[in-house]
Structure 1
């Protein structure tokens, strides 16, 4: 006991609580590494040189037709497909409940995406050890299904919910990092891997194979990046620099991937062929996104679909995905098209919608994107233990080193360049380091690896396994280490993690009427409008949108008031029939 009569052996409960919170991330990281190592051992032990290269199903991959042939009767295949889908639907449901409990009780400040990856690893381990991973493999999407149904909702919602004022204020720097930086990363990584293969210290890729591999690895995942930054609540400049770069970077990386992939098997193409192909795919995709969005805005402006919100919502959701399939049909980049379409639909078509459809479409897009995002991270974890991999330890190690080095060759030199034109708003050394550290790879890179061109199955397996290792390394190690790094560097906004920004995009600084009109509050910098913004206000908005006057403005507040009045009548909760009847004009709810 000390002089005051206090027992030094008795620790303050608050001090113990602080220590426990400090030790908890370390314990979680240790358990995660143990789980990752166990999964890697099982995945390595279960690797086989034959069978489907994309999953662990019982089918065989036929390289002549490029499709998976499944054994057994049609009825057995349907049963296994249903069972596999049930597993993944229940897993997604579990992820939603687990995410809610973690965020509500503040167990630890880890982004949700890391939890989903670990859940996927555990599910994969259970399936592998129980011997039913082949059955679950039937439910996994192949590369075509992945790009048709999983990726588009994610990219569209990223563009649709983008804060245009913040994004375009940083647009110059974003485009430099996203376009020039992605090209630097792809070339650095591809040429580095090609050189290492030539020196016989890693798997030997041909030149265009290595460059194609570098292009897919250069895709920084906006899903993982946004999940990390939303959870950690970083400052707005850093947020939009990294997020904006990752969104545009994905489209550029995919265009580069298709450009280099076309060169595989070509006999000494001219130097200008890849450049022409890149410009054609990039510009053509943007044009299609612009035209389809303008068409949707004009139809909604001149056709009174708002009288029937069900038809209006159905039309709006269909038009949202038209750019993707049109671009794919013309041999362009569907990702670039749907990203452009998402940004422009939110700007021009959204104000022409009724209030009901504005709110309904917003939450429909967010819900679909959330489900597909969650599936992607579970899929990545499951893939580690259920796919048939071809692990090359040297290639994996060098690939991770090249990923970090190529990101550095992109961020730090280009930051010096853009700082010359940013005036007082320079990107300081701390933010440059965070931008380098935040280069997470995810769904886009892994999905592209599943569709890696060329007839060499061994090469495809090495690419898939190496890409998966890079993705898991960046998501688990870099993603999990982002909060400690932010706190260590004392980056603005890193002191507290947001508990409410994980799944819901807050309408900061907006009232509901402003949101319904698709408008944003003015910012201090709005007095200095660029030529594009002036053209938008003078020509584009009057042509494509309804005038935002008192007669035509649909009040969201009035809509909610009507719902509140109806729900208060008789003390009964509103049923789907009541809501549908009210908005579709079928009858007045009783």
Structure 2
């Protein structure tokens, strides 16, 4: 295991250096773009009869369980690090906007994409059961906080827009995981869940995750408040994240939502009342490094994993149609409501375009797709997911800064 970690960290370091020294793209986009380019080059060389490098990359990627690594390892750290810097007082002032986008928007998007994909595939030679189409809708609907937050900061988006889209991204992945689990359980049982059963699962997973996060976050806050030593206080935050996520898994509640709540409590109550200036500086530096390192490794893995995908002409055509479908869904479930409600969302004019185009998909979608049981349906879902994620990060991520500057007046910085 140590050898595998060493190889991927070394690859990430080299690609991060190349991006910083020669390419100059935002870190997440740059390392993924270079990794993807190398993977495509390897695939082309393999098609021409030069198999050595392709075989080496394939064996390296197959040696790691991407879904397990992200969902059971990296996700807890990344979500906590993201929530740690969200101002809860500002987020509270946009609570209904964030809640409606994360809950109603994600659910509506799941249904819209799921049924839309089912209709699209009926026009092609590909076959995918409706249940798996809905699974795809659930895993592709949430915006990825890991991708969104770093790119929006570099894009110079107004604080209000950044706050709403970051808050939505932090919470909608928890909603998505619940919906994904519900549909997968339905496929396994062969029966459609009742409204009561679905509501119970949603309440247990989402509500339980929030309550567990609040309990662990408050306990961590009390421990931080009782001492003043940044070494131990950093250790407390790390234990709260790793231990809290493991406990959430054992209790069958939403670990992602628990991590967000813990991060909000430690980042706000803890920062204001339980940390000295020196502790705050070291805690922020520690979690910023964790965030940057894991973020870079994650996006390199996404770029390299593409060698395992078996693309065909029909899949590529379907993928292009699904990219358009996901953008349309984002427009209808996020852009149109914001544009229609206007002032009630209290966002600068033109924000609906930024939130529509800035709805980036990332590692969480890929991890959920890879967690599906092996089979033809899984292969189609994984391939479509990769095409949407690659388009999202490379095309949308690289152009979101220009969208922000073009559609939001400079004066609207609230």
Deviations 1:73-120 (A, max 9, x none): xxxxx7xx72x5443222222244345446xxxx76x42222111221
Q: Is 1:332–2:253 an aligned residue pair?
A: yes
Q: CA deviation digits over 1:292-349, x for unaligned, max 9?
A: 11122223334x4x3x543343233212333222211111211111111111122233
Q: Is the 8 A contact 2:230 2:283 kept in 1?
A: no
* 1:158 corresponds to: 82
Please point out which of 113, 126, 131 is paired with 1:189. 113
Q: Deviation digits for residues 102-153 of structure 1, max 9, x if unmatched?
A: 6xxxx76x42222111221244356664231234225533322221222221
Deviation per CA, 1:441-492, whole angstroms, max 9, x where unpaired?
101111111102x4x5111111111101100011111112223333443543
Which position in structure 1 is the counterpart of 2:269? Answer: 348
Contact 1:190 1:211 in 2 (8 A): yes
Partners in 1 of 2:145 and 2:112 — Cα distance?
21
Aligned residue in 1 for 2:60: 136
Determine which of 310, 318, 326 is the counterpart of 1:395: 318
Q: For residues 75 and 382 of structure 2, what CA distance do their matches in structure 1 show?
A: 18
In 1, Cα distance between equivalents of 2:14 and 2:284: 24
Q: Give distance in 2, aligned partners of 1:370 and 1:378.
A: 12
Counterparts of 1:488 and 1:353 in 2: how far apart (Å)? 40
CA distance in 2, matches of 1:493, 1:220: 27
Root-mean-square deviation over aligned CA pairs:
2.6
- 1:419 and 1:359 mapped to 2: Cα distance? 39
Distance 1:125 1:87 in 2: 20
Greater RCO (Cα-Cα under 8 Å, separation 6 or more): 2
Runs of 4+ deviating beyond 6 Å: none
Q: What is the distance in 2 between the residues matched to 1:280 and 1:418?
A: 32
Measure the CA separation in 2 of the matches of 1:116 and 1:161: 24
Q: 1:437 aligns with which of 330, 337, 357?
A: 357
Determine which of 274, 287, 300 is the counterpart of 2:224. Answer: 300
The 1:418–1:336 alpha-carbon spacing in structure 2 relative to 1, beyond 3 Å, is farther
On the 8 A contact 2:221/2:265 being kept in 1, the answer is no
Aligned match of 1:261: 184
The 3 A distance-change label for structure 1 pair 427 and 279 is: farther
Give the match for residue 121 of structure 1.
36
Is 1:449–2:366 an aligned residue pair?
no
Quick check: 2:366–2:382 contact (8 Å CA) kept in 1? yes
The structure 2 residue matched to 1:372, chosen from 294, 300, 312, is 294
The answer on whether the counterparts of 1:182 and 1:253 sit within 8 Å (CA) in structure 2 is: yes
Gaps spanning 5+ residues in structure 2: where? 46-52
The alignment's TM-score, normalised by the length of structure 1, stands at 0.63
1:478 and 2:396 aligned = yes
Point out the structure with max Rg over C-alpha: 1
Alpha carbons of structure 1 residues 415 and 319: separation in structure 2 relative to 1, 3 Å: same
Change (3 A) 1:228 1:237: same
Q: How does 1:223-302 map to 2 (within 5 A)?
A: 223-266=146-189, 267-302=191-226
How far off is 1:372 after superposition? Answer: 0.9
Q: Is the 8 A contact 1:317 1:361 kept in 2?
A: no
> Would you tell me which structure has more helix in proportion to its own residues?
2
SS of the residue corresponding to residue 410 of structure 2 reads coil
* Aligned partner of residue 317 in structure 1, secondary structure: helix
